[in-house]
Amino acid sequence: MAQSFDTRYPSVDDLREKARKRIPRFAFEYLDGGCNEDVNIRRNTSEIRDIQLKPIYIKDFKGASIKTTLFGQEYDAPFGVAPVGLQGLMWPNSPEILAKAANKHNVPFILSTVTTMDIERASELTEGKAWFQLYNPAEDAVRNDILDRAAAAGCPVLVLLCDVPTFGYRPRDFKNGLALPPKMTMANILQILGKPNWALQTLRHGIPTFETLRPYTPEGLNLKQLGKFMDKTFSGRLNEERIKPIRDKWKGKLVLKGVASEEDTEQAIRLGFDGIIVSNHGGRQLDAGESTIAPLTRIAAKYKDQITVMMDSGMRSGPDMARSLARGAEFTFMGRSFMYGAAAMGKKGGDHTMTILKVQLQQILDQLCCENIHDLHKHLI
């Protein structure tokens, strides 16, 4: 077993439980929760796990490799770190922890516009390999400057988010003061006092802020003013008119994240995207929507020859990845899983989580007698 494997936490579920005990409740519920009644967050995982794979034992099996190539870059595993907002709130310095681990394990790390590390630092930690996810600014000048910074940092892939036209209705975040505008409640303060390690780490690394957006944010804003500024500065709604200038300006690979329909897939192909990430934002936006694996199955079958089809939302293990890859995903991303690792284990958490996911996926391929991830579809039942 790899040196970075801690046998106390052999699964993402174990890491989740440790994270729950280690960080304030408001931070854990922001990470862990979905929207409305949490129907779709549960559906995401349960429908993936309905998929069954058959082993084929009597064959000339030469061993399995989980390596794959995506956009001309070879990666050591078919998974990456999905973009997550406000990471430093959940565990201080977690974006750096995960970026370093992704670089060590040779898997992609996607930086969110609204997380707590800036583009330049992400590029430095990943040797210019970090992807960047853009929340499209309302002002063209801000958008163009962010794109210029991403290009100057050597970012190879720009991910454009399409599935946040509104803020998701998240009851726990309202109760905890984490909706926009945010507020600090007495309950939150008491929770912080009950998690001294988290509090000390936060003091050490500083109050989390939207680092990439710092140049565009007026100084001296209180929490309420910051919420209003964010609401005014960013508009999640996309249309052809808003996408075209980005496609024209960005010279690297362009990916549309949040696709959940054939209609949006066809638009992505027509508008010149290189790939899509089929996703429902981890079940945080539309509780009445489909699980991610349902549209992924249809989209991959119909459009895989025209555009690179990737997936996130709902996967928590190597078997989950194998099932999703078998259904047609060419690559997978996870957000919560890696954040559970960072919150549970601090600076060792990213490395450990990536290690267990690699070990789990390798075991699945070896057990199925499947030599590479591209053949997993042959094992579908």
pLDDT tens digits, one per residue of 302-314:
999 999 999 999 9
Strands (E), 241-329: 253-259, 275-278, 308-312
281, 352, 377, 379: which is the annotated catalytic residue? 281
Instruction: Name the token pair of 378.
Output: 């042959």
> Are residues 27 and 334 in contact, defined by beta-carbon separation less than 8 angstroms?
no
pLDDT tens digits, one per residue of 293-345:
999 999 999 999 999 999 999 999 999 999 999 999 999 999 999 999 999 99
The CA–CA distances, whole Å, from 317 to 334, 347, 358 equal 10, 21, 9
Torsion sign, CA atoms 162, 167, 172, 176: positive
Answering whether pTM is above 0.85, one says yes
Higher pLDDT, 39 or 228: 39
3 pLDDT more than 60:
no
DSSP letter (8 states) at residue 377: G
In whole angstroms, give the CA distance from residue 187 to residue 194: 11
> Are residues 31 and 334 in contact, defined by beta-carbon separation less than 8 angstroms?
no
pLDDT tens digits, one per residue of 366-381:
999 999 999 999 999 9
* 105 in catalytic set: no
1 pLDDT more than 70:
no
pLDDT at position 224: 67
pLDDT tens digits, one per residue of 47-63:
999 999 999 999 999 99
- Rounded to an integer, the average pLDDT of 126-154 is 95
pLDDT tens digits, one per residue of 257-282:
999 999 999 999 999 999 999 999 99
- Rounded to an integer, the average pLDDT of 348-361 is 97
In whole angstroms, give the CA distance from residue 370 to residue 376: 7
pLDDT at position 186: 85
